[in-house]
Amino acid sequence: MKSKYDVVIIGSGLGGLVSANILSRHGYSVCVLEKNQQYGGNLQTFVRDKNIFDTGVHYIGSLGEGENLHQYFTYLGIMDELKLMKLDDDKYDVITFGDDEKEYFHAQGYTHFEKSLISQFPEEEQAIKAYCNKIKEVCRNFPLYNLETSSEGYDINFLNVKISDYFDSITKNEKLKAVLAGSNFLYAGGKNTPLYVHALSVNSYIKSSWRCVDGGSQISRLLIKRIKEFGGEVYKYQEVVKFGFDDDDLVSVITKDGNEIKADLFISNIEPKLTTKMLEGKGMRKSYVNRINQMKSMVSAFSLYIVFKPKTFKYINHNYYHFKNHCRVWDAQEYTENSWPEGYMLSMGVRKKQDEWSSNLTAMAYMKFNEVEKWRNTFNTTADESGRGEAYEKFKMEKAELFIDELEKKFPNIRECIQSVHASTPLSYRDYIGSHNGAIYGYEKDADNPMMAFLSPKTKANKLFFTGQSVNMHGILGVTISAVLTCSHIIGKEKLMSSIKKSLS
């Protein structure tokens, strides 16, 4: 490791790695510092009973030829080496409700998506067509989403339109509204969620939906490979604990081991609230720090990881979004001790030589951090295995049993197929991903106060930039765009977009 770089990036999540890839391509000397054993943030995978599980990448949208994430990944030099499996064209997502035996399908491709929904709701053709047109219209007005330049990457006119108000404006059919909103676990949406968050999230999956063969960590491995080819450096077990200043001038980061690494510029790919703490009162106005600390973090999740006995559970080439009833689609986060889980998202892992049998399954349900508050002061990662004690393990297994009870209602034979069960809580997300209280998607976006959750990549501290899921949008596509936006403040918007488009021609 050198003593001085052009840019030091804190955290190796997708935003940090994409930023490092872009900047190293443009001739900057770049160093990425990661505190954990594994790179990638939400791209991390882990193994249980010889099965690979994803931490956060259960499926990805817009990776079809010419689609926006395909274009960005092509520019980054990783698209051709990704190992992917396309989900079922007729039903990549299936929405179900405990009070309705029928399954509702989301199909891939707008023409197919529209026709499929109209066949399921023939009396709602006008509303379904209006919905599809609106999603496409909203997405057209976010330039970087379409590989175009803009001042901040979004159209401010779309920020204060509530998704629930929009649905109410096109139909009175509550079941159709629930089906259209059924995949809102993608953005932890509520009735006040802005329409644009829904649109940018679902549009990419409607275009095309894919699973990563043997896990999403291949994305981070390929990004790091490209970074090193362009002269960049990436280090793990390097936890940054504070910034170094020369009077009021930000000049370095200091690691837990006491190493000081200097740079001309710094990009934080970690939680902005944690980033401001590491400044120790220097470099930023107190009012700006207070604004960041007042931002409301998203809810967290409890994840259930099931390993199946060989050849007992059929592989399902789509995802399930299930709710106890269609009235709970917007309120699944507001559960009680007795009603949890109000809903869940379920996805299968996919192997290189996938056959008709599934080897594992992941199911996720919302969980509030206060459920694990008593263990707040415990930390447990592969790099620092300290454990949380028997009471915590008992809590996890009790929750896992409740979750499996709920899964049994849809898959009555699932228990007899199970070889082993594993689980993670908001504490796992906090420790491995570094998000505030284990938030799964950065900061909550509210149409009543749309600017509250917006952070510019260019911070109020000279030489310091943000990137990642807390800047504009979350998800694989959203974070990739976030990194492009961050780098555009360093390289220049026109120059960066020109180089991206040139690489695609």
Q: What mean pLDDT do residues 127-134 have?
A: 98
Q: CA-to-CA distance for 305 and 348, rounded, in angstroms?
A: 10
Residue 258: per-residue pLDDT: 94
Residue 380: per-residue pLDDT: 81
User: What digits encode the pLDDT tens for the residues 78-114?
Assistant: 999 999 999 999 999 999 999 999 999 999 999 999 9
Nearest CA among 12, 1, 4 for reference residue 383: 12
Residue 156: per-residue pLDDT: 62
pTM, to two decimals = 0.95
Please state at what angle helix 110-120 crosses helix 125-140, rounded to 10 degrees.
150
Residue 434: per-residue pLDDT: 84
- One-letter amino acid identity for 422? H
- Tell me what the pLDDT averaged over the chain comes to: 94
Torsional class of 20: left (φ above 0), alpha (ψ -120 to 50), beta (otherwise): alpha
Nearest CA among 33, 10, 501, 98 for reference residue 233: 33
Residue 153: per-residue pLDDT: 46
User: What digits encode the pLDDT tens for the residues 434-444?
Assistant: 888 999 998 99
Torsional class of 438: left (φ above 0), alpha (ψ -120 to 50), beta (otherwise): left
For residues 69, 74, 75, 76, the Cα torsion angle rounded to the nearest 10 degrees is 90
User: What digits encode the pLDDT tens for the residues 30-67?
Assistant: 999 999 999 999 999 999 999 999 998 999 999 999 99
Token duo for residue 194: 């802005």
Q: What Cα–Cα distance (Å) separates residue 168 from each residue in 127, 286, 308?
A: 10, 41, 42
Q: CA-to-CA distance for 296 and 502, rounded, in angstroms?
A: 40
Q: Does the pLDDT at position 302 exceed 90?
A: yes
Q: What mean pLDDT do residues 138-142 have?
A: 90
Domain boundaries, the chain: 4-44+55-83+214-295+445-504, 113-207, 299-440
Residue 503 neighbours by CB distance under 10 Å: 13
Q: What mean pLDDT do residues 312-324 have?
A: 98
* CA-angle at 63, arms to 44 and 500, nearest 5°: 95
Q: CA-to-CA distance for 116 and 266, rounded, in angstroms?
A: 48
Residue 157: per-residue pLDDT: 65
High-pLDDT (> 90) share of the chain, %: 87
User: What digits encode the pLDDT tens for the residues 207-262?
Assistant: 999 999 999 999 999 999 999 999 999 999 999 999 999 998 999 999 999 999 99
User: What digits encode the pLDDT tens for the residues 158-214?
Assistant: 788 999 999 999 999 999 999 999 999 999 999 999 999 999 999 999 999 999 999
Residue 451: per-residue pLDDT: 78
Residue 148: per-residue pLDDT: 78
Q: What Cα–Cα distance (Å) separates residue 175 from each residue in 95, 167, 178, 201, 318?
A: 11, 11, 5, 21, 21
Q: CA-to-CA distance for 484 and 493, rounded, in angstroms?
A: 9
Q: What is the 8-class DSSP label of residue 156?
A: G
Q: CA-to-CA distance for 447 and 426, rounded, in angstroms?
A: 26
Secondary-structure breakdown of the chain: helix, strand, coil percentages, each rounded to the nearest 5: 40, 25, 40
H or E element at residue 36:
none
Residue 379: per-residue pLDDT: 87
Residue 383: per-residue pLDDT: 56
User: What digits encode the pLDDT tens for the residues 378-435?
Assistant: 988 765 556 789 999 999 999 999 999 999 999 999 999 999 999 999 999 999 888 8
For residues 424, 430, 433, 438, the Cα torsion angle rounded to the nearest 10 degrees is 80
Contact residues for 355 (Cβ-Cβ < 8 A; gap 6+): 315
Q: CA-to-CA distance for 46 and 424, rounded, in angstroms?
A: 12
Q: Does the pLDDT at position 145 exceed 70?
A: yes
What CATH code would you report for 4-44+55-83+214-295+445-504? 3.50.50.60
Per DSSP, helices labelled H in 237-318 are 272-278, 286-294
Nearest CA among 304, 344, 318, 312 for reference residue 414: 312
Using DSSP, state whether 340 is helix, strand or coil.
Answer: coil
Residue 172 neighbours by CB distance under 10 Å: 10
